[in-house]
Amino acid sequence: DAERGQQELIEELEEIEEEESKFCTLPRGGNTFTIRQVVFQKGPDYKPLGFSIVGGRDSPKGSMGIYVKTIFPNGQAADSGTLKEGDEILAVNSKPLHGASHKEAINVFKQIRSGSLLLHIG
């Protein structure tokens, strides 16, 4: 009976772990997960954002989140120093990117033509 109860607990924990892994798609060091906010501006009076993204549910490496691939010099990302290569972009202006394809994520950025661009980074 104790063995059966232990097996049920293990299955329950595996389900929880599976649910949590849907949010954070890459293994992370440590036991903490910090979400931070980064704000950029879009419009004719501003420098380009200055970064590229990789990933998505259609990634050749399998379904994954959207990540910062490259920070380009002379863009807002390089100037601010707040965005790093490898950061996961969880949401753009409160629109979650979880489950988005690469193209859908690109379109989220393109739809914002001017004003503030708030990134939630994990």
Q: How many CB atoms lie within 10 A of CB 5?
A: 9
What is the pLDDT at residue 35?
A: 86
Residue written as token pair 């920070």? 71
What is the pLDDT at residue 16?
A: 43
What is the pLDDT at residue 2?
A: 52
User: Which one has a higher pLDDT value, 8 or 121?
Assistant: 121
Q: What is the pLDDT of residues 38-95, one digit of tens each?
A: 999 999 999 999 999 999 999 888 899 999 999 999 999 999 999 999 999 999 999 9
User: Which one has a higher pLDDT value, 113 or 34?
Assistant: 113
Mean of per-residue pLDDT scores for the chain? 83
Instruction: Please check the confidence at residue 13 and state whether its pLDDT lies above 80.
Output: no
Please check whether residue 66 is in contact with residue 58, taking contact to mean a CB–CB distance below 8 angstroms: no
What is the pLDDT at residue 61?
A: 87
**Both structure tokens of 81:** 């120093």
Question: 3-state SS of the chain: helix, strand, coil percent to 5?
Answer: 30, 30, 40
Instruction: Please check the confidence at residue 8 and state whether its pLDDT lies above 90.
Output: no
76-87 CB burial, b ≥16 within 10 A, e <16: bbeeeeebeeeb
User: 28-121 is classed in which CATH architecture?
Assistant: Roll (2.30)
The domain ranges of the chain are 28-121
Instruction: Please check the confidence at residue 105 and state whether its pLDDT lies above 50.
Output: yes
